[in-house]
Amino acid sequence: MSRSAKKPTKYRESHADAEHMVSELFQGLETGLLEASAPTSASVVILPPHDVLRTLERVRGQVAATILDPWYNKGIGGTRSDYHDWLSQVLDAACGVSSHVFLWGFPEIVAKCLDYVPPGCELVAWLTWYYKNCPSVIRGWRSAQLACLHFAHRGVRIYPEHFLNGAQLEKQREGKLRYMPGPPSVIEAPLIVGFVGRSEKTGHPAQKPVAAIEPLIKMTTQPGDIVLDPMCGSGTTGVAARNLGRYAILCDISEEYTRMAEERLGVRRVGSLPEFHISELFPEHVSVTS
């Protein structure tokens, strides 16, 4: 599906209609749910700042995909002695509410996650984000990659057909496509640094480009599906989901980054919830994924 994919029809309306839809969106939830003005796009919901495990524990319902992008226990964000035990808990909790889970990190760190794949799940692919423009001052090998592990429940669907080009789509329509070519496991997109990616830049110290997130969503979801990012940073997952006509639920433990995502997406966070039901956040949501 192209980046120009349309958003759900209900949400391509005037500002006045959007306000009316948002009032319906939160019908049945407690009074005073919104902290400020209503969201400008009902396809993205931003939760108040919260710890990732607490966020995942509060989910009621299932999402198509969850994207986990924690600090990597190296460099920015500091370190913690129980990092791998903590990360295994996060991965297990995410698999409990998602068909697909993507886990970002340095290769030498996330590789240890392969020792504790959650029950009922399997590693679908080891993905690599490749960038050539890292301004490292380290003497020696200059970093040019980050790993992203794709886990999923056994038997769930993926959608390589979303990556077909025009000629391949024509062959598919004619019944002449002999096999379904999948996208490469290496995603090439430059770092947002210096003059590169200025239109996306938010000030987040580890912001990923939208081009690194969109393939994950395209491969594992259909238009109208829901993506969860409980460590959303500046909201890149929300931008990618919106571009592709998917819904997104975003949360981050940082107040600063939550505000950053709100400003970037033009969406106000919802009020504090002891738990949140997917069906209540998106009452108009109808997944086309079987």
Query: How confident is the prediction for the chain on average, in pLDDT?
Result: 83
Which pLDDT score is estimated for 287?
57
Residue written as tokens 């997104």?
Answer: 248
What string of H, E and C letters represents the secondary structure of 254-283? Answer: CHHHHHHHHHHHCCCCECCCCCEEHHHHCC
Alpha-helical segments (H) within 132-223: 166-173, 210-220
Q: How confident is the model at residue 22 (pLDDT cuts 50, 70, 90)?
A: very low
Which pLDDT score is estimated for 286?
56
- Residue from 196, 271, 195, 259 nearest 233 by CA: 259
DSSP 181: P
- Cβ atoms 213, 148 nearer than 8 A: no
- What number is the average pLDDT over the span 202-227? 92
Q: How far apart are CA 277 and CA 282, in angstroms?
A: 9
- Cβ atoms 62, 224 nearer than 8 A: no
Among 60-64, 155-159, 258-262, 272-276, whose mean pLDDT is lowest?
272-276
DSSP 4: T
- What number is the average pLDDT over the span 209-236? 96
What tens digit of pLDDT does each residue of 139-188 get?
788 889 999 999 999 999 999 999 999 999 999 999 999 999 999 999 99
Q: How far apart are CA 223 and CA 286, in angstroms?
A: 10
Q: How far apart are CA 62 and CA 86, in angstroms?
A: 22
Asked if pLDDT for residue 74 goes beyond 50, the answer is yes
The domain locations on the chain are 16-23+32-281
Looking at domain 16-23+32-281, its CATH architecture is: 3-Layer(aba) Sandwich (3.40)
More confident residue, 40 or 158: 158
Q: What is the pTM of this model?
A: 0.81
Amino acid in the structure at residue 95: C
Which pLDDT score is estimated for 276?
84
Other C-beta atoms lying within 10 Å of the C-beta of residue 9: 10
- Cβ atoms 42, 25 nearer than 8 A: yes
More confident residue, 42 or 46: 46
Which pLDDT score is estimated for 94?
98
- Residue from 148, 152, 142 nearest 122 by CA: 152
Q: How many CA atoms lie within 13 A of 132 on its CB side?
A: 1
Q: How far apart are CA 215 and CA 137, in angstroms?
A: 30
Asked if pLDDT for residue 15 goes beyond 70, the answer is no
What crossing angle do the helices spanning 210-220 and 236-243 adopt, rounded to 10°? 50
Q: How confident is the model at residue 285 (pLDDT cuts 50, 70, 90)?
A: low
Distances (CA, A) of 287 to 99, 154, 157, 233, 247: 13, 20, 13, 26, 10
